[in-house]
A and B are shown apart, each in its own frame.
Chain A
């Protein structure tokens, strides 16, 4: 079945440093979504990428979808303590598919 690998599992950064998490799928994806889960909270949708090579920005967050639609990344510039949480990628394998396969997440800690 479809697998979505996400690395690193943990990342500790000093406030102000950049952070990147990477996602790789064993199969071509129709789209990929990113979620953020704050400590003690629930996953919250951040963004969806659909097109090959797509790049989207949300303030300090930059999301990329690979040309082959099998990998994606989330980059945070100049991290802040409010960025703390676990970031999950989730891939959808086909249009109309009801199933998202989640990566195992990257837990980001920001040291003030």
Chain B
């Protein structure tokens, strides 16, 4: 009964490979996010989807492509992995309403990506 789940938990791969990280939430939320947390623990938003539509796309390389098959899933595909992509990637979800008071975010456990 995990609220926000991510797979895999760990991902070790070679430079140049393509990989995907999956995220699912069972909270019935409308909005899902991808964050990148680097070695200094800075949490930076990458993408946000609301009801399967992209609403935030921060300045990330276009090697990163999010895909939302339905509002419970938001996957992240990364092409041509680089050393600098090594980080922990967190998926999160929230229920948006007319009032900002309803946008507490629930985070997944994270995927630690290591690019060799």
Contact = CB atoms under 8 A, between A and B. Distances in A.
Contacts of A96: 96-100
Interface of A: 30-31, 33, 35, 37, 41-45, 48, 50, 86, 88, 90, 92, 94-102, 104-105, 107
Contacts of B48: 98-99
5 contacts: A31-B101, A43-B90, A95-B99, A96-B99, A97-B103
Given A95-B98, A98-B96, A99-B48, A43 B43 contact: yes
A107 B40 CA distance: 10
Contacts, number: 68
B41 A105 contact: yes
B7 interface: no
A100 B58 CA distance: 12
Contacts of B90: 42-43
A30 B99 CA distance: 10
Contact of B107 (A44, A94, A107): A44
A-B CB proximity, top 8 nearest: A42-B107, A102-B43, A30-B100, A95-B100, A45-B104, A43-B107, A31-B100, A92-B100
B103 A88 contact: no
B64 interface: no
Contact of B42 (A90, A98, A104): A104
Identify which of B40, B43, B110 gathers the most chain A CB atoms within 10 Å of its CB.
B43
A97 B55 CA distance: 10
B101 A98 contact: no
A10 to B, nearest CB: 10
A92 B108 CA distance: 20
